[in-house]
Structure 1
Amino acid sequence: MEILNNLKINLRGIQNLLSKIKSLLIAKITGKDSQNIWAYLYRKAALETADYVEKNMLTIPYFQTRNQLLKLSLSKVNVNGLFLEFGCGWQAKSINFIANHIDETIHGFDSFEGLPDPWFGNFGKHSFSAGGKLPNVRKNVQLHAGWFDQTLPEFLATYTDVVAFLHIDCDIYSSTKTIFDILGDRIVQGTVIQFDEYFNYPGWKNHEYKAFQEFIVDRGLNYEYLGYCEYSFTVAVIIK
């Protein structure tokens, strides 16, 4: 009899514990997280991106980091020409990484004053500003400070080669469109382009992705995807 009473007490304890866990789960589901607008926007963007990958990129390799994809992109370069990066940032991490893996000079373009236009969410105008201060870079990096529409024409007047490798890390549509508008004639069969913010965030179809797709249609070009990062926004392509 005593054993049965102890079992009943233990069962009631387990039932109380399960009831508390259930209440916590319900509160979690219907509480603060259920009203997190940006959490849902990111999930929605991830689902849209997954659909895009399923339709267009299912058989290509994916990576965990941007640098892993950069190594692949650089290995695919078979054109003699310019190495360019747009959007170096105040730390210059990616351009220094690229410079460490090539013998050529890589030219970096950035205003170092932040975004000229808003991107999405809290990334408004002047986000990522370095206050005009140039970062420390490797010896085979040459920086060109200023807005793309001012520095790029001057650069192309001096350097006449086609583009071998292009790293676009400028986030927004207007800046990416400026790059393709001015640089378009230098982008040829075999040019490798890596985008740092191509997809997988709220509004991704309105920025680097949009500018590139418009460029491809306007120029009548073809391209193939080389790879992407499964946890971020990064995608690499090659012009065919």
Structure 2
Amino acid sequence: MSKKIRVLVNGARGRMGKEVVRAVLSDPALQLVGTVDPAGTEEDAAVIAGLPPCGILLTGDLATTLEATKPEVMVDFTVPQSVMENIHIALQHKVSPVVGTTGLSEKDLQEIKEWTARYETSCLIAPNFAIGALLMMRFACEASRFFPHVEIMEYHHDQKLDAPSGTAIKTAEAIQEERQKIKQGHPDEEEIIVGSRGGEYEGMRIHSIRLPGLVAHQEVLFGGLGQTLTIRHDSITRESFMPGVLAAVHRIRKTEGLVYGLDKLIF
């Protein structure tokens, strides 16, 4: 029988963290060895996630828990303000981070890349773990070769801290690699209310919607001569991200350096 992969979940009290705890405990090839959250309360992590006790208690200090539990992989769903420090601490302990926390900049990614080289440990940064979202981005890139006029609408719950979403940014980056930069809309258009046309990235417009009741949704709208094309993905529940998270946990130790995007691991 092959050795189980030792996993620590950081942000285990959050909505995504609870889903990850449930997913890891359900995978016979994984072993949950630690759970961390700023609101560490020494409660059983499985109980917090709505399951019978598993014996893994929630703690409040990442470095101490990494040293005590010796995981191979850390899954991080925390907040933009702490994610860089979390990644650095994990890499220093030779633990591979699988990061779903968004809000990282190009400068952040370059720094993480340098850390992975320094500590000879891999790291995955994934703006979206839903397989359908990855396919949506891939189809959008293909469509942009024929429909260069494109706008992105992303919809999330009203507790999301960053805008636009990491998925929207990665979609725009990927599309830009397939098309020439163009100025969209009327050259003399005027925003009566500043921001009403959304944010601009290489000529594309990105619009962020934040409302209670939403989870994670994105539309990529293309316009052409006498026609439009819409490619949309909807995550109805946070369970939709778990197959991708588990795939990442299984594969991240088999790669090297920084991996940006789950598609780099599974496609």
**Which has a greater percent of helix?**
1
Structure of larger gyration radius = 1
**Which has a greater percent of strand?**
2
Q: Which has the higher contact order (CA 8 A, sep 6+)?
A: 1
